[in-house]
Each structure stands twice: as structure tokens, then as C-alpha cells.
């Protein structure tokens, strides 16, 4: 299991990073105005895969839902993510595509979000597209 949050950061920075990642995932789930339990479970699974402990994941998700609700832009979420390694960014992008395709359809708002995120996270659009195709094939 890849731990998304480096042990070199202090605990407060690490907590903020995971909240921002979770808020970004929640934002993508809400962009089609239909935040489902299935999407919530995908987010929880992604957070666990990224190194969040079982006993913390529900509290982190609750904090992230509040942070996402109180924010009007994704820049504060991507600020924490853009400096992560390419491997960590790929995990996040895969979780985002899983959320988007959880209803077997990517609408224009979700597709636009992913185009914006590839730029904001300094990711090659080809990498984002390859991950998208991988997720679509699993559907």
C-alpha cells in the first residue's frame, strides 16, 4: 500500500493534505449534483488505499465534506496535491475517474473538471486519458 502522506510532514500538514485530497474527490462526486453512497464508498476506498487508517477515514471524510461545502473553488484543494509525486497524482486521478464513471457516464461538467485538473495538477493529458480508458474498460 502506498502511503500518500509522507512521514516527513508534521501531523497538521498531513491532515490538511488528506482533507484536501478528500475534498477534491468529493467535489468531483458532487459536480453532477448527485453525490451518491456509491461515490462516497469509492472515496473511502481511495483514502484507505492512500494510507488513511480505518479508524480515521470517516472523520476525515466528514471534515472534507464540510471543507468542500464551504469552498467555492478547487484551487485550494489542488494546491496540496500538485506538489505530490506523479505516482500519487495517478492514484488520485484514478479515484476521480472511478467516481465519475460510477454512474457509467461522464457528463460535460465532469469531463471539463478532469481537463482542468490535468492542468492544475501539472499532469500530461495523455496520462489522464490513459487512466480514463483503463477505468472505462473496467465498467
Question: Which grid cell sits at 135?
Answer: 477505468
pLDDT value of residue 38: 93
Q: In the chain, what percentage of residues exceed pLDDT 70?
A: 91
Where does the pLDDT of residue 36 fall: very low under 50, low under 70, confident under 90, or very high at 90 and above?
very high
State pLDDT tens for residues 101-139: 998 888 888 889 999 999 999 999 899 999 999 999 887
- Tell me which of 96 and 87 has the higher pLDDT: 96
Where does the pLDDT of residue 22 fall: very low under 50, low under 70, confident under 90, or very high at 90 and above?
very high
pLDDT value of residue 7: 45
The CATH number of the structural domain formed by 11-138 is 1.10.3680.10
- Tell me which of 72 and 127 has the higher pLDDT: 127
Helix locations, 71-107, DSSP H? 75-81, 86-100
Of residues 15, 44, 24, the one with CA closest to residue 96: 24
State pLDDT tens for residues 5-18: 444 445 556 778 88
Task: Give the other-Cβ count within 10 Å of 7's Cβ.
Answer: 7
- The pLDDT of residue 56 is above 70: yes
Contact in structure between 32 and 96 (CB atoms under 8 Å): no
pLDDT value of residue 84: 83
Q: In the chain, what percentage of residues exceed pLDDT 90?
A: 50
Contact in structure between 54 and 15 (CB atoms under 8 Å): no
Collect all residues with Cβ–Cβ distance below 8 Å to 79 and sequence separation of at least 6.
Answer: 20
Query: If you average pLDDT over residues 77-97, what whole number do you get?
Result: 88
Question: Which grid cell sits at 43?
Answer: 472515496
Of residues 100, 78, 99, 98, the one with CA closest to residue 89: 78
Amino acid at each position: 500500500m502506498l502511503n500518500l502522506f509522507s512521514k516527513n510532514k508534521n501531523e497538521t500538514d498531513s491532515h490538511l493534505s488528506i482533507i484536501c485530497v478528500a475534498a477534491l474527490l468529493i467535489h468531483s462526486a458532487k459536480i453532477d449534483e448527485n453525490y451518491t453512497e456509491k461515490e462516497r464508498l469509492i472515496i473511502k476506498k481511495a483514502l484507505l488505499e492512500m494510507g488513511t487508517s480505518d479508524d480515521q477515514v470517516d472523520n476525515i471524510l466528514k471534515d472534507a465534506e464540510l471543507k468542500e461545502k464551504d469552498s467555492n473553488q478547487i484551487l485550494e484543494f489542488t494546491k496540496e496535491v500538485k506538489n505530490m509525486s506523479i505516482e500519487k497524482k495517478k492514484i488520485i486521478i484514478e479515484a476521480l475517474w472511478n467516481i465519475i464513471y460510477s454512474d457509467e457516464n461522464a457528463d460535460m461538467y465532469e469531463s471539463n473538471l478532469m481537463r482542468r485538473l490535468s492542468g492544475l495538477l501539472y499532469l500530461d493529458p495523455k496520462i489522464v486519458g490513459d487512466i480514463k480508458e483503463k477505468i472505462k474498460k473496467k465498467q
